[in-house]
Amino acid sequence: MKKATRITIVEVARRAGVSLGTVSRVINEKEGVGHELRERVLSAARALGYVPSFAAQSMRSQSSRAVGLMVSDISNPLFSATVGAAEEVLYRGGYNMILTNSRDRPDKEKEILDLFQRRRFDGMIITLSKEEDPATLRVLSESRIPTVLFERESTLPLDSVATDHYSGAHQAVSYLLNLAHRRIGLITVTQAALPGRARGLAYAAAHKAAGVPVDASLMSFDGFLPDAGYHAAYRMLVSPRPPTALVVGANQMPGVLKAIRTLKLSVPKKLSLVQIGDTDVASLHQPPLTAVRWEFAKVGAAAAELLLAKISGAVDGSRPRRIVLPTELVLRQSCAAPAV
């Protein structure tokens, strides 16, 4: 099979009967070319099937028109609508989005951040598995690329967009305490990242406000590990003093439901459940699960809009901006007063 040859601007210039400089100005959307001449060049390019070199344009303009988005775990159901909304905002702003998955590994996060910089991406939206990992912080502190943290916070002066995980968890735990539950399990992600840390603080605060002591054995922050939900729930539920209710992260809930099925426990008769993050699992489960809800798409859109503002210089970069979006508790049929 004959290998296709790449059309060059020399051929475009020859067909249009203009100079190389004129073709270059038209392709790079520079001023100084009349309408008729511009149309002649574009017509010649279309006829020849000319495709501009992305790499060459990037070097000339110092802009790749690309944004890197790094999530910690693409299998997390909370990310799908969020990432989709971010991509739509970036696309409307004239940028392509490159999605990467760090698999919650700081070493891979560093590699991805290095890659974004080598490719001269115009901006980054990132989550981190460990917000204070020294190697990651060093890369970010040396980076000149506009960056927005997504569902994370940092000691570095970086802009961030996050959900109010503290309020959501506090509403969930307080609701269960008001139903007279006194042994409530929390199964969520690591405290090395904002969501797990905020949920842990809210869990403790809600218990303190109700005058109920916290049992550390009822708290699990291993959510990033495979089958963490199953193992944490099973351990708690077969203990001598099992919980009567569980508050569970969306990514851990499938494993928790597997443990509940294995132990043949009835929801909510024997165990009340609240899911953090209102995914399809919560609404389609029987009975439907009470859930902490927030608008996933708004989080992604807000992160992309903030990044575009930073890239364009429309926001003051001297002080980091932190956008926190609200949560609400949606009551369904998975909670009841504990069995006597």
pLDDT, tens digit, 9 for 90 and up, residues 234-251: 999 999 999 999 999 999
Nearest Cα to 61, choosing from 13, 143, 122, 148? 122
Do 321 and 289 have their domain in common?
no
Q: Are 193 and 128 in contact (CB under 8 A)?
A: yes
pLDDT at position 162 is: 97
CB 23, CB 16: distance < 8 Å: yes
- Residues paired with 247 in a beta bridge: 186, 274
Residues 154 and 179 in one domain: no
- Whether 319 and 272 share a structural domain: no
pLDDT in tens, 253-266: 999 999 999 999 99
Q: What is the DSSP-derived secondary structure letter of residue 324?
A: E
Q: Are residues 122 and 179 in the same domain?
A: no
Whether 201 and 224 share a structural domain? yes
Same domain, 70 and 85: yes
For residue 287, being part of any structural domain is answered with yes
How far is residue 134's CA from residue 299's CA, in Å, rounded to a whole number?
27
Whether residue 333 lies inside any domain: the answer is no
Q: How many residues does the chain have?
A: 340
Residues 121 and 150 in one domain: yes
For residues 73 and 151, membership in a common domain is answered with yes
Q: Which residues of the chain fall below pLDDT 70?
A: 1-6, 28-29, 51-63, 317
Query: 């904002």: which residue's tokens?
Result: 194
SS3 (DSSP) at 337: coil
**69 — phi, psi (to 5°)?**
-120, 120
- Is residue 60 one of the residues assigned to a domain? no
Q: What is the CATH number of the domain that holds 45?
A: 1.10.260.40
In a domain, 22, yes or no: yes
Q: Is residue 340 part of a domain?
A: no
Does any domain span residue 226? yes
| pLDDT at residue number 11 | 86
Domain range holding 104? Answer: 66-163+296-325
Of the candidates 201, 206, 243, 239, the residue with the CA atom closest to the CA atom of residue 221: 201
- Which amino acid type is present at position 35? H
Q: Which helix (H) or strand (E) holds 74?
A: none
332 within some domain? no
Instruction: Provide the CATH number for the domain around residue 236.
Output: 3.40.50.2300
- Asked if residue 289 and residue 183 are part of one domain, the reply reads yes
Within-domain flag for 59: no
State the Cα–Cα distance between residues 255 and 271, nearest whole angstrom.
15
CA distance 51 to 6: 8
- My answer on whether 175 and 221 are in the same domain is yes
Q: Name the region of 319 (left: φ>0; alpha: ψ -120 to 50; beta: rest).
A: beta
Hey, is 261 helix, strand or coil? helix
Assess whether 251 and 285 both reside in one domain.
yes
Q: Which residues of 52-84 are buried (b: 16+ CB within 10 A; e: fewer)?
A: eeeeeebeeeeebebbbbbbbbeebbbbebbbe
**Rounded to an integer, what distance in angstroms lies between the CA atom of residue 334 and that of residue 289?**
5
For residue 50, give the H/E element and its range: none
Number of domains in the chain: 3
pTM comes to 0.81
Find all residues with CB under 8 Å of 167, minimum gap 6, and list them.
Answer: 202, 326, 327
Residues 304 and 262 in one domain: no
Task: With CA atoms as reference, report the closest residue to 158 among 168, 145, 148.
Answer: 148
Rounded distance, CA 257 to CA 234, Å? 10
Say what the pLDDT of residue 62 is.
58
Cβ–Cβ under 8 Å, residues 272 and 336 = yes
